[in-house]
Structure 1
Amino acid sequence: MRPLRTALAIFAATLALGACGTTEAPTGQAAAPADAPAAGPVTVTDGRGKQITLDKPATKVVGLEWGEVEMLVSLGVMPAGVADVKGYGTWVTAAKLDATVKDVGNRSEPSVDSIAALQPDLILMEANGNSALIAQLEKFAPVLVAKASDTADNLGRMRADFNMIATAVGKTDVATKVLADFDAALDEGKRKIAAAGAAGKKFVMADGYQEGSTISIRMFGQGALVSDVAARLGLANAWTGKVDKAWGLGNTDVEGLTALKDGDVRFFYNASDGVDVFAEGLAGNAIWKSLPFVAAKQVNRLPNGIWTFGGPRSCAQYADALVKAYTG
């Protein structure tokens, strides 16, 4: 597949801190602007509808979910602490963390003591119903809760979360530029797909999990963030199975994939942790091999480290992978 010289590739190369690997930053990349936050108090309304007022833009921030951490780094603010630093390095390559970032435990159960020890002036987390944790954290620092997903308009929600964080850290000018470049890149990607005669082509996106001989498949349906990105490029999500209302995700198995009868569907999947269920776990499965998109060799593994629940940079990486698949 030949290199695609689109605005998407330019966007990813110039903005990403570590988009091409989990350990090495590519040469020739430009770091996000590191201008000092504006002085003075700032007020933002978070995903709970709660108004948060800071005496000045936050500079020492702890992030408990990777999407918001990516956004923070994209704005030029390196967090003091992050939940599951190692996992972030595996699944998120769009905005690399410095070695100075402290690990504060698991995303599902972060260490309150570790967070408190860092003395942050702001804690970022997602709206996940964990009100007990929020109450604990608010005892020693303001907590900004991002909405994280909205199947009614996930691209719009992503932009809103990004702008909210930018306001809290005094980086609204940076956010405006990042989002403008992102929109321009998507426009160019859509033009390239249309020029290749691929406008309106159908796709599906999935994650795979294997436990013993049992393989489970998580589908990204209508309303998922990556589905919105693909739609913005002029593609159509072929998955019509049941999905949840919060994330646009649904569960199936290999038999469930037989519902995808259109021979023109292209299948994308993520295996950043190195466990490739589709290439290895299903290699000898007769049902898998009989699926139209498998027979047509229209199965695409995403490059490692594209976080499918991320901010502008991860969305740009995902869009770039789609454009390359349809135009390469």
Structure 2
Amino acid sequence: MRRLLLTAAAATAAALTLTACGTTEPAADDAKKPTERITLTDASGTKVELDGPAKKVVGTEWNVVESLVSLGVDPVGVADVKGYKTWDTAVPLKNDPKDIGTRGEPSMDTVAQLAPDLIVATSDLPPAAVKQLRKIAPVLEVRPADASDPIGQMTKNLDLIARATGTTEKSAQLKRQFQAKLDEGRKALAAAGLAGANYAFADGYVVSNQVSIRPYTSGSLIGAVNEKLGLKNAWTVKGDESYGLAATDVEGLTKLGADVQFAYIGSDGDKNSTPFAGVLAKDKVWTSLPFVKKGDVHRLPDGIWMFGGPESMGKYVDSAVAALTK
């Protein structure tokens, strides 16, 4: 699971139950109306045709699974269910989906047994795997991240999945709520005198007793959210073109200014993901950093998926604002 976390690949899927409103039976004419077909073009340029809103949906990455759950669609199949439950408690699963395997290597047999209406995948999945999945059911492929427009990509994916599942009104509501969170958070930080404050967000992991740190640059989703909050990204390293993530070590932290506020997310469910509160506690470089000495290090709550959708990002805003203004 950790290997896939580091490449930010993830998988998910969902099923939407449609219920009729009111206490009367639908008119005979309405009952005879054929379900309107849905035609979409996904991130790969493939035309995806559905007989109607997808009800039985499989997701191969956690960010698309989160979008499904946020939209009110309970996926019938999810990649690495245990991992999702560890890393994304901000938007918990409401059902008990079938585990379809890892995010990078879903089980084709398991997916086929679920007989889904739709499979939502990301372009992080190998093309050969996507090709196999298309033989099972329609596949809606999305680009999971874009460092040139992280928030725009997040909402674009949400809207596309909403169109496929007949939940466009919910998508619009989620976007409005997220914008309100940003506005509230920005005002709260400004009121606390933190407008323009230097801020560095990262995560870290331990492999073979070696600590690696992953800076979230301005091209990351969280980096883009931070800037909307009026914070200044303190990282000077360059991130990748999709996720806006970089790589450094403990010595690399010495390049951050003395006035920086440093925040991170780990998970108690993955002990290798919490070096800042673990092995670094006795590291002389770490303990000598000015922001560490001043206590300007903030561990944000577990379970906020750093590559998720508007609900995870909304909860991130609440957590970051609370940490910086306490």
SS of the equivalent of 2:314 reads helix
Runs of 4+ that moved beyond 2 A: 33-39
User: Which residue does the alignment assign to 1:160?
Assistant: 156
User: Which residue does the alignment assign to 2:295?
Assistant: 297
SS of the equivalent of 1:250 reads coil
Q: Map 1:2-81 to 2 at 5 A.
A: 36=19, 39-81=35-77
Candidates 134, 141, 160, aligned match of 2:137: 141
Q: Map 1:168-317 to 2 at 5 A.
A: 168-260=164-256, 262-272=257-267, 273-275=269-271, 276-317=274-315
Q: Is the 2:104–2:125 Cα contact (8 Å) retained in structure 1?
A: no
Distance (whole Å) between structure 2 residues aligned to residue 39 and residue 237 of structure 1:
48
Aligned AA for 2:202? A
Q: 1:89-113: per-residue Cα shift (whole Å, max 9, x none)?
A: 0000122213431101111111010
Q: Is the 2:104–2:126 Cα contact (8 Å) retained in structure 1?
A: no
In structure 1, runs of 5+ residues without a counterpart are: 1-32
Size of the alignment, in residue pairs?
Answer: 295
Residue 322 (1) aligns with residue 317 (2): no
Aligned AA for 1:206? A
Q: Is the 1:263–1:296 Cα contact (8 Å) retained in structure 2?
A: no
How far is the alpha carbon of 1:242 from its aligned partner?
2.5
User: Which residue does the alignment assign to 1:24?
Assistant: none
How far is the alpha carbon of 1:50 from its aligned partner?
2.1
Distance (whole Å) between structure 1 residues aligned to residue 180 and residue 95 of structure 2:
32
SS of the equivalent of 2:171 reads helix
TM-score w.r.t. length of structure 2: 0.87
Distance (whole Å) between structure 2 residues aligned to residue 223 and residue 119 of structure 1:
37
Q: Is the 1:70–1:94 Cα contact (8 Å) retained in structure 2?
A: no
How far is the alpha carbon of 1:307 from its aligned partner?
0.2
Larger radius of gyration: 2
User: Which residue does the alignment assign to 1:131?
Assistant: 127
Q: Is the 1:189–1:320 Cα contact (8 Å) retained in structure 2?
A: yes
Candidates 147, 166, 189, aligned match of 1:151: 147
Q: 1:170-214: per-residue Cα shift (whole Å, max 9, x none)?
A: 000111111111111211111111111101111111111112331
Distance (whole Å) between structure 1 residues aligned to residue 80 and residue 308 of structure 2:
15
User: Which residue does the alignment assign to 2:29?
Assistant: none
Q: Identity of aligned pairs, percent? A: 47
**Structure with the larger RCO, 1 or 2 (CA within 8 Å, 6+ apart):** 1
Aligned AA for 1:92? D
